Structure 1
């Protein structure tokens, strides 16, 4: 299959000048080490570049590469839980632009919001139980109160936030994915509104590890909230006031956060695990891609999606490419960037769309 993007020239970014506390670099040339093997299925196939994001670990170390987002200047902001550099910024060619840190050793979730006059990042630290809003150069402009501070949790309820999503009206939704399993809703100024969800294996409006949350704006007149119930192998859809609408069951997929791009829904799969079957495929993972009808159309690194009598069959890793695929970012040319955790300090991979 011909590479539709092979002849696109990589855009060159100019010098970056940022404020105090930001380390600025311009390192190396565009890196391309494409594999011959195609990953994925149907119209969503890719060539893998394992070396795309490689850096000097003595200078720019990572523990886990948790999440990545792209700003309107096509810069890729990658979150790591190494306190020396929580944010590592690349261009699409894999060149390191700059880094900064909040000193978070539990940095986990990264959400980019375009407010028109400026873009901002929401960062969660699941260890400290913090959610902060930052400028793109790392200045904290707001910290959300904890659920204990606003009186919606008791002292015995754990709070370990993993992800955020921001609605068109500015409301902020925090997934307490490693804590008490609630979605917490705040207004744009950080005032608490409500919580919904909670911890239950059987109840459809509750979660088992609400690891990720994202705003689904594919129907602009009817925005909804997509949440990953990771241990249930399920994306759950809610109204913006917390009413459960539907489940999207992905058997075998220990899914991370939902990532929306165009008509498609993407997610990193950390390893295979079937609901009711806890024989996990450790140190394995893949990426899963769904269409606008919630049908899986491709699994780069995984088995081909197969439906029997309208139901999706078990999905597992097939190609030994990923260890724990924690997040996926999509650029304007529909290439993918994969972040991995518990993977021995691996930098992000790039998957070139063909």
Structure 2
């Protein structure tokens, strides 16, 4: 698949479309749907969240974690073509621990690997190239992006970019948080915890160009944390979780600013299936958007609960305070082939939730 440069007129049309979306106030977007089943005194009925055609049965603490793994913050999740679920976590144990744990669709442990990413586990995505699938891993501690096969064998590793001015000073940190795939076989790397730049690489991992930097104006970012290639309207664009600016920011494939989506709180990462985009929001909710980037529903949302979660961030270390059908700090979310969702959370003990689609 080759990269197509949009014409000036189509760019203008896209820009108007996204600016219109960004300025829209979604009626009822902060409505908190009832959590069905949460009051079951026997504790056997799983909560159901969402509304209309988007209702999900929630299983918190999903996955049979093996004894040799002690969850740290569960940062990333992806699903391969066979339906296996890959979790990337950041353990704080003194002994190196596998950073990637793989489960089958029923939650049974399959394998683990990646001790070399211990303490830096963050983004993880999967892409099929020819007849083989590969993982793309972002490591915030060691400042690398790696491409591996599905069992962790390394194809290549990329460290800190050398050429750009913002890295010539050795004190300037490089801490890549997530990647997005490009239509031409290349990929984009967001330096979310470092320079706030986005770097474009070709399919061989060679640098091509970069853009961004810290700021609030269009084209600038504060923590470009997660990214995704959005092709829902037929024109490929890069959607970026501009987290500390409390917005999504859209760019053309060559890094030109297109517009904002402001109906997010503290967005962490993105996944898209069909016309539906899911945004994991670190402020205690998971949001679904339609193809026009209008909010369908905020899953698990309740403002009182959010206020508790954000009160000093204490609850992330207090599992006994967590409530069924509520999220604490969603850090990533992705769809499987059946439309179910897997949500990983930035909490001290780690937590995976499976959201089984009911409607």
Q: 1:34 and 1:188 mapped to 2: Cα distance?
A: 49
Farther-moved stretch of structure 1 (115-124 vs 173-182): 115-124
Q: Match for 1:257 among 254, 264, 269?
A: 269
Contact 2:143–2:159 (CA under 8 A) maintained in structure 1: no
Corresponding residue for 2:231?
Answer: 217
- Give the corresponding residue for 1:349: 353
**Larger RCO (CA within 8 A; separation ≥ 6):** 2
> CA–CA distance in 1 between the matches of 2:251 and 2:133?
26
Q: Give the aligned partner of residue 183 of structure 2.
A: 168
1:333 to 338, 341, 345: 338
Q: CA deviation at 1:316?
A: 4.9
Aligned pairs, how many? 295
Matched, 1:113 2:118: no
The equivalent residue for 1:87 is 100
CA RMSD of aligned residues (A): 2.2
Q: Secondary structure at the match of 2:278?
A: strand
Residues 208 and 227 of structure 1: is their aligned pair in 2 closer, same or farther, counting only changes over 3 Å? same
CA drift at 1:84:
1.3
Contact 1:55 1:347 in 2 (8 A): no
Point out where structure 2 has 5 or more consecutive residues left out of the alignment.
1-42, 309-321
CA distance in 2, matches of 1:35, 1:351: 14
Aligned counterparts of 2:343 and 2:129: Cα–Cα separation in 1: 26
CA 42–303 in structure 1, closer or farther in 2 if over 3 Å, else same? farther
Equivalent-residue separation in structure 2 for 1:218 and 1:102 (angstroms): 37
- In structure 2, the residue matched to 1:59 is 68
**CA-CA distance at 1:151 after TM superposition:** 6.2
Question: Is this contact kept in 2: 1:89–1:96, CA < 8 A?
Answer: yes
Query: How does the TM-score come out when normalised to structure 2?
Result: 0.77
Q: Distance in 2 between matches of 1:37 and 1:86?
A: 30
Correspondent of 2:212 among 172, 189, 197: 197
Alignment check: 8 A CA contact 2:74 2:90 kept: yes
CA contact (8 A) 2:269 2:281 kept: no
Deviation for aligned residue 1:217:
2.4
Q: Is the 8 A contact 1:35 1:49 kept in 2?
A: no
Aligned counterpart for 2:239 among listed residues 219, 226, 247: 226
Give the distance between the partners of 1:92 and 1:36, measured in 2 at CA.
18
1:40 aligns with one of 50, 58, 65:
50
How much does 1:176 deviate?
Answer: 0.3
Shift of 1:91: 1.3
Structure 2 CA distance, aligned partners of 1:236 and 1:290?
Answer: 15
Q: For the Cα contact (< 8 Å) 1:80–1:107, is it kept in 2?
A: yes
Which moved further from structure 2: 40-49 or 89-98? Answer: 40-49
Matching residue of 1:138: 152
Higher helix share: 2
Determine which of 231, 236, 242 is the counterpart of 2:249: 236
Deviation at 1:303, TM superposition (A): 4.1
Structure 1 portions without partners, runs of 5+: 1-32, 272-284, 305-314
Cα offset for 1:149?
5.7
Distance in 2, matches of 1:143 and 1:152, equals 21
Question: Do structure 1's residue 288 and structure 2's residue 287 form an aligned pair?
Answer: yes
Q: Could you tell me the TM-score, scaled by structure 1's length?
A: 0.78
| Candidates 37, 54, 60, aligned match of 1:50 | 60
What CA distance in whole angstroms lies between the structure 2 residues aligned with 1:136 and 1:332? Answer: 18
| Displacement of 1:229 | 0.4
Whole-angstrom CA distance in 1 between matches of 2:350 and 2:173: 30
Whole-angstrom CA distance in 2 between matches of 1:199 and 1:209 = 8
- Separation in structure 1 between the aligned mates of residue 45 and residue 180 of structure 2, nearest angstrom: 34
Q: What's the offset of the Cα at 1:112?
A: 0.9
- CA offset at residue 36 of structure 1? 4.1
Q: 1:135 to 1:149 in 2, by over 3 A?
A: farther
CA displacement, residues 138-195 of structure 1 (integer Å, 9 cap, x when unaligned)? 0111112422366662214221110011212112200000011000111111221111
Deviations 1:296-331 (A, max 9, x none): 111111149xxxxxxxxxx95799422211111211
